[in-house]
Amino acid sequence: MSGMQLASGERSASGGRSWTVLDLLRWTTQHFAERGIETPRLDAECLLAFALDCDRLRLYVDYEKPVEETERARFRELVRARSGARVPVALLTGRREFWSLPLRVSRDVLVPRPETETLVATALERMPDRDAEVAVLDLGTGSGAIALAIASERPKARITATDLSAAALAVARGNADALGLSVRVRFLEGSLFEPVAGERFDLVVSNPPYVAERDAAGLPPELRHEPAAALFAGPDGTDVLRAIAAQVGEVLAPGGAVLVELDPRQADAMSAWLREAGLVALDVHRDVAGRQRVVSARKDG
């Protein structure tokens, strides 16, 4: 729908009177639903709250409040970007909550996904002592989501977070600063284990790129707004998983563990690659939707 159509649709739906918060939510929810957006009401609320510079709860209190034209114009631009170019809400607002931490996000990073909280929860189970002085490596940290969630829960953990992308690391560092966690997390640029050669870790966690390039054409249009290097890993999506399986034993301390997020269809193959690399105690952990989401293994010793 073009900007002109959106503006005239708005006019006719309000019946000529001034637009209230509720009018805008109703109109936008219907518009998003017609455009095939999966969570139309939630997206409408998040964008309107952002345009009005308030939280979502406030919208409910202000249902009958008229919305000024300047704020409506701001909202209209957001609605157009969401329904037209299919920009994800988090990239329009520049923020996303993960593990209850408010994170900044940009087009340089993957928007952290709810299923990645399964990886964090599983990692914390491996560190039951809150004051454990464990060394943790987060490979491909993106916005810093996993590293910062662990840092927030385990105050004495020494955390290293790496990424191939300098731009992603800048976002992650900004998030660490904003959360007061920057002294607790070391950020290093480079591919996989190269920046930490010669070091040893008690726990290695990663949500690596694992989408198959051959599936690219059928993916939701929202993914076009996230970095390809954060999503794709070779024709069948397993290039980075295989590299992690082959090399992780070199950086794990004896008894140390690795936890990797993946597509549920990759869980059996990843378990086999880790076993072939000499790791033991293979296990698969399910996300809240019941899908095989994280594979874990341990180095003997």
Ligand X SMILES: C[S@@+](CC[C@H](N)C(=O)[O-])C[C@H]1O[C@@H](n2cnc3c(N)ncnc32)[C@H](O)[C@@H]1O
Q: What DSSP character marks residue 265?
A: G
| For ligand X, the closer CB: 78 or 295 | 295
Helix axis angle, 21-34 relative to 69-83, nearest 10°?
10
Closest contact distance (angstroms) between CB of 261 and ligand X is 7
According to CB under 6 A, which one of 209, 232, 270, 293 is a site residue for ligand X? 209
204 in contact with ligand X (CB under 6 A) = no
28 in contact with ligand X (CB under 6 A) = no
112 in contact with ligand X (CB under 6 A) = yes
164 in contact with ligand X (CB under 6 A) = yes
Closest contact distance (angstroms) between CB of 180 and ligand X is 20
**Positions in 129-148 near ligand X (CB under 6 A):** 139-143, 145-146
- Return the structure tokens found at 91: 């990239």
Per the DSSP assignment, residues forming a β-bridge with 232 are 211
165 in contact with ligand X (CB under 6 A) = yes
116 in contact with ligand X (CB under 6 A) = yes
Helix (H) or strand (E) holding 104: strand 101-104
Closest contact distance (angstroms) between CB of 204 and ligand X is 12
| For ligand X, the closer CB: 22 or 188 | 188
Nearest one of 232, 271, 264, 300 to 118, comparing CA atoms: 264
175 in contact with ligand X (CB under 6 A) = no
Nearest one of 254, 253, 244 to 296, comparing CA atoms: 244
Count of Cβ atoms closer than 10 Å to residue 190 Cβ? 14
Closest contact distance (angstroms) between CB of 208 and ligand X is 6
Residues 59, 48: contact at Cβ < 8 Å?
Answer: yes
Gap between the Cα atoms of 56 and 113, Å rounded: 20
Q: Are strands 201-206 and 252-261 parallel, antiparallel or unpaired?
A: parallel
| For ligand X, the closer CB: 10 or 261 | 261
172-188: buried (b, 16+ CB within 10 Å) or exposed (e) per residue?
bbbbbeebebbebbbbe
According to CB under 6 A, which one of 10, 45, 163, 236 is a site residue for ligand X? 163
Binding residue count for ligand X, defined by CB under 6 A:
24
Closest contact distance (angstroms) between CB of 92 and ligand X is 18
Q: Is 94 left (phi over 0), alpha (psi -120 to 50) or beta?
A: left
Closest contact distance (angstroms) between CB of 229 and ligand X is 5
* CA atoms within 13 Å, Cβ hemisphere of 221: 12
| For ligand X, the closer CB: 28 or 143 | 143
| For ligand X, the closer CB: 145 or 248 | 145
88 in contact with ligand X (CB under 6 A) = no
208 in contact with ligand X (CB under 6 A) = yes
Q: Which residues bind ligand X (CB under 6 A)?
A: 109-110, 112, 116, 139-143, 145-146, 162-165, 168, 191-192, 207-209, 229-230, 240
